[in-house]
Amino acid sequence: MSYSRLIRVIIVDDHTVVRKGLAQILEETEDIIVTDEASSGDELLSKIQNYKYDVVLLDISMPGKDGLMTLKEIKQTKPDLPVIIFTVFPEEQYAIRVLKAGAAGYINKQSEPEEIIRAIRRVSVGKKYISPNLADLLATSVSTENNSLPHDVLSDREFQVMCFIAMGKTITDISKELSLSVNTVSTYRIRILEKMKMKSNAEITHYAIKNSLV
């Protein structure tokens, strides 16, 4: 099959091996070309002001400005630039949040290369990429919108910290992962417990498992 245009992609991930591996996969296509890479949200935001891309492949978990914060800033400055969130986290954890924030798609890093390629092609022409599992999640979300869950009241950063706590990470671990101070993460934890009317990390973990968030 011949293609009439090249899809210019920038890969954003703080791990070099992920960027190189993904670039290698995409180089095997006729119509997708990796024209650039970035290792942080700030680097990406700088590059999109100076260069033109058709699709952004963005990791959600990066030190400093994470993928969700970066996505929101992209939508403010380049609202028409399609962004696919490319992450190790399951769809149940972040997919609905990132789609509401303006992402064009959500792909797990364990996905087959064909799915990644299919997603890039689809969002490059202005469409959304929704996997069958994510379609089910969205349908459930719509049907329960009037019966919101306790974690829906959390901010994006609070939700992120909650998920890390549920995964068994310590406050110190989380502070390193998110490039935040220990005091800041502790404050987030207190807010999470208050908003969700819980008393311990064990309750957070039980809740997250029950709701398939980890």
| Domains, the chain, ordered by start | 7-142 (3.40.50.2300), 150-210 (1.10.10.10)
In this prediction the pTM is 0.73
**How far is the C-alpha of 141 from the C-alpha of 35, rounded, in Å?**
36
Determine phi and psi for 34, rounding to 5 degrees: -85, 105
Local structure of 58: helix, strand or coil:
strand
Q: Angle, nearest 10°, between helix axes 132-143 and 91-100?
A: 70
**Token digits for 176?**
């390193």
pLDDT digits (tens, 9 = 90+) for 183-194: 999 999 999 999
DSSP reduced 3-state for 108: strand
| 55-106 residue pLDDT tens | 999 998 887 788 888 999 999 999 999 999 998 877 777 788 888 889 999 9
Decide: 90 and 108 in contact? Cβ < 8 Å: yes
One digit per residue, the tens of pLDDT, for the chain of length 214 reads 556 689 999 999 999 999 999 999 999 999 999 999 999 999 999 999 999 999 999 998 887 788 888 999 999 999 999 999 998 877 777 788 888 889 999 998 888 999 999 999 999 999 999 887 777 777 666 555 555 778 888 888 888 899 899 989 999 999 988 888 999 999 999 999 999 899 999 999 998 888 877 7
Count of positions (residues) in the chain = 214
